């Protein structure tokens, strides 16, 4: 899903926005994150090192805000009839993936963020950490380590494998 969204987003804005800005925005978005950003960067022929820097910064930038604001925003939204079901669904979905993070906190969160599978990533990791009351000070290092792992894996997929076939 992230691949097709990244391709769609790239095609939609190519010609209207600088390619680096497209990749940066894709990397900031939940669901797409760094995975989608690196796919888009490869499609837009952005050099690998530049792509890594843009995607990493784009993905990590919103995470401290997510860690600090998820609980207060969810508590406020839960008070409304319109948003309560959405908040409860997001919380249930996040907490359903929290077992390894609760058990192995640092390494569980790092692996959760670092293994690029659907439903994982820095945004979901930050949501779970926030729901588990893990402080920003304790949550940021494993999230950063996880992003380094995800960057390595996605660089191999987005840049390494296609280079083998050229």
Query: pLDDT by residue (tens digit) across 76-120?
Result: 999 999 999 999 988 888 888 788 788 888 999 999 999 988 888
**Same domain membership, residue 39 and residue 85:** no
**Same domain membership, residue 79 and residue 102:** yes
**Same domain membership, residue 141 and residue 69:** yes
**Residues whose CB is less than 8 angstroms from the CB of residue 160 and which lie 6 or more positions away in sequence, other chains included:** none
Q: Per the structure, how many domains does the chain have?
A: 2
**Same domain membership, residue 113 and residue 35:** no
**Same domain membership, residue 79 and residue 53:** no
Q: Where residue 37 falls among pLDDT bands split at 50, 70, 90? A: very high
**Same domain membership, residue 111 and residue 42:** no
**Same domain membership, residue 70 and residue 41:** no
Cα→Cα distances 145→75, 81, 100, Å: 29, 38, 16
**Same domain membership, residue 48 and residue 71:** no
The domain containing residue 121 runs over which residues?
Answer: 63-149
Could you give the dihedral angle defined by the CA atoms of residues 11, 1, 87 and 135, in that order, rounded to the nearest 10 degrees? -90
**Same domain membership, residue 121 and residue 70:** yes
**Same domain membership, residue 44 and residue 17:** yes
- Say if residue 161's pLDDT is above 90: no
**Same domain membership, residue 68 and residue 53:** no
Query: pLDDT by residue (tens digit) across 38-71?
Result: 999 999 999 999 999 999 999 999 999 999 999 9
Query: pLDDT by residue (tens digit) across 13-36?
Result: 888 889 999 999 999 999 899 999
Query: pLDDT by residue (tens digit) across 135-160?
Result: 999 999 999 999 999 999 999 999 98
**Same domain membership, residue 124 and residue 72:** yes
């Amino acid at each position: 899903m992230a691949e097709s969204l990244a391709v769609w987003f790239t095609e939609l804005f190519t010609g209207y926005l600088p390619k680096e800005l497209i990749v940066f925005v894709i990397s900031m978005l939940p669901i797409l994150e760094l995975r989608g950003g690196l796919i888009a960067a490869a499609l837009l022929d952005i050099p690998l090192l530049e792509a890594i820097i843009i995607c990493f910064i784009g993905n990590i930038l919103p995470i401290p805000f997510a860690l600090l604001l998820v609980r207060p925003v969810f508590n406020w939204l839960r008070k409304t009839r319109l948003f309560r079901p959405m908040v409860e669904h997001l919380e249930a979905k996040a907490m359903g993936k929290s077992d390894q993070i609760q058990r192995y906190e640092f390494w569980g969160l790092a692996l959760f963020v670092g293994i690029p599978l659907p439903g994982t990533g820095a945004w979901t990791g930050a949501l779970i950490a926030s729901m588990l009351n893990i402080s920003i000070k304790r949550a940021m290092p494993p999230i950063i380590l996880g992003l380094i792992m995800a960057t390595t894996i996605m660089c191999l997929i987005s840049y390494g494998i296609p280079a083998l076939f050229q």
